[in-house]
Amino acid sequence: MDYSSSAKESAPAGAAWWSRETVAVVTGANRGIGHALAARLAEHGLTVVLTARDGARGEAAAAPLRARGLAVVFRALDVSDPASVAEFAAWIRDDVGGLDILVSSFAPFVAVQVNNAAVSFNEINTNSVEHAETVIRTNFYGAKMLTEALLPLFRQSPTTSRILNISSQLGLLNKVSDPSLKALLLDEETLTEAAIESMVSQFLAQVKDGTWGEQGWPKVWTDYSVSKLALNAYSRLLARRLQARGARVSVNCFCPGFTRTDMTKGWGKRTAEEVAGVGARLALLPPAELPTGTFFKWCTPQLYSKL
């Protein structure tokens, strides 16, 4: 589905549909875009669960936000570790009671998940696949595993629960030159999770045997790009699956573009705080304006593109 709208750095206009009872989970939030998003959502009055793999760093990131009077709770989470994901989901279920928004950066008490946890081992202007398995395990499998674990815990509110995956244009189909791979990902009627995972397994196998460079994969930051290619496809598939079931959970992706963070060694066109302003707006869109299955990229207003 197509969607066009303006994404400014302020909160959506009109009366807020959320409150302090609205809980947003933000992964990978001890620094960079994830931390800035956690802060911005808390500033808008939500309760934010800030997650990070390292307990000391995560608590250090949450403490100054709480000192400002913001409703921020830290919880350790390693999205690449099944035991950690299971423990986190149990805590959300038993201690928190559910969620409304998931923001994966790397995702009333309205479920908001922001999936932000992500890794890359490439330097600027380099393209190594030495750590491809770790990159794929965190950026794709980790985000998918956490999302599936939390899906039953989203509160099906009248305002619609939301998942926002922080993704990348490097994972768009125009970066793929293999026509058969493009055809697979474009066929919405036959695309399955198994097909996406098979694609990822094929890439990792080619990395191991050294043939990946001639197989039509994205040319820039290839392992990172493939992880986001898989995440974008999964997000689109999940959006269709939930929509078909009548579930009130939207699933969208947002590419912040080249942002100054530790991952980019401080290079970039914009700050994490600027990105957080737009990301928070997308996560808090009014229910009547909330799409699903949409890829938002950092660009001029009215130019959002389909996943």
d(CA 238, CA 281): 22
Say which of 141, 224, 234, 304 is annotated catalytic.
224
**Could you confirm whether 224 is annotated as catalytic?**
yes
CA–CA dist 125, 177 (Å, integer): 20
Residue 296 CA to residue 202 CA, distance in Å, equals 28
Q: CB–CB of 223/137 below 8 Å?
A: no
Torsion 202-207-213-214 (CA) sign: negative
Nearest to 27 by CA among 86, 98, 113: 113
Structure tokens at 279: 């990301």
Tell me the one-letter amino acid at 148: E
Q: Say how far apart CA 260 and CA 154 lie, in whole Å.
A: 32
d(CA 209, CA 202): 11
Q: Which residues pair with 162 in a beta bridge?
A: 101, 250
Residue 200 DSSP SS3: helix
The SS3 call for residue 43 is helix
Total residue count of the chain as it appears in this document: 307
Dihedral angle sign, alpha carbons of residues 135, 232, 163, 256: positive
DSSP 64-117: HHHHTT--EEEEE--TT-HHHHHHHHHHIIIII--BEEEEEE-----EEEEEE-
Structure tokens at 251: 């699933």
The DSSP secondary-structure symbol of 31 reads: S
Catalytic annotation, residues: 224
